[in-house]
């Protein structure tokens, strides 16, 4: 990784940290999974809800997720950082559907031999979350898609099916 890539990643982390409101942190999440020969391992911090609808039996909330991780494919690695607003719809007090669209910066324009054209990628995610009763732990599954939204071609995108394990504090 070149000094320029390290500087870009450090800058993205600082900007992401400054963009997160001064709220009590809600959870740390480990994500891991893969698809199409590529793998992703990431650590994410999700803020306490910055907005919440208190109405009805099925509330909505919005949090900010700052993430950092590594894509790997065919022995090569690409680092990534991201900032994503996450919307959660609580179907029951313990089960939610979550979705988010955020900005990501990659340390390379390649994931293995796959050219992504730009280091800037949008990350779209949808998943299911289950919070264990009387426990700070939750688990779930998430589908994520990374793409530059046609800013530059080629734009093959990369999908990941991920397991998630979170700890609330």
Mean of the per-residue pLDDT values of the chain? 89
Q: List C-alpha distances in Å: 77 to 17, 31, 105, 113.
A: 24, 16, 14, 10
Token pair 């990628």 in the structure block, residue? 121
pLDDT confidence of residue 57: 81
> Residue 53 sits in a domain of what CATH number?
2.40.160.20
Tens of pLDDT, residues 75-125: 999 999 999 999 999 999 899 999 999 999 999 999 989 999 999 999 999
User: What's the whole-model pTM score?
Assistant: 0.82
Three-class secondary structure of residue 161 per DSSP: strand
Number of domains in the chain: 1
| Range(s) of the domain holding residue 52 | 3-168
């Amino acid at each position: 990784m070149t000094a320029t890539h390290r500087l870009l990643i450090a800058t993205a982390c600082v900007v992401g940290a400054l963009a997160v409101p001064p709220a009590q942190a809600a959870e740390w999440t480990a994500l891991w999974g893969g698809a199409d020969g590529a793998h992703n391992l990431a650590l994410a911090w999700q803020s306490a809800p910055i907005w919440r609808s208190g109405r009805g039996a099925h509330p909505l909330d919005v949090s900010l997720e700052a993430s950092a991780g590594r894509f790997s494919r065919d022995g090569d690695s690409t680092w990534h950082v991201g900032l994503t607003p996450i919307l959660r719809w609580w179907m029951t007090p313990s089960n939610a559907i979550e979705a988010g669209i955020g900005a990501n910066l990659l340390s390379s324009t390649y994931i293995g031999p796959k050219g992504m054209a730009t280091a800037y990628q949008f990350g779209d995610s949808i998943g299911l979350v289950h919070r264990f009763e009387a426990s700070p732990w939750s688990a779930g599954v998430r589908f994520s898609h990374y793409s530059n939204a046609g800013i530059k071609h080629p734009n093959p995108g990369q999908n990941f099916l991920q397991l998630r394990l979170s700890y609330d504090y």
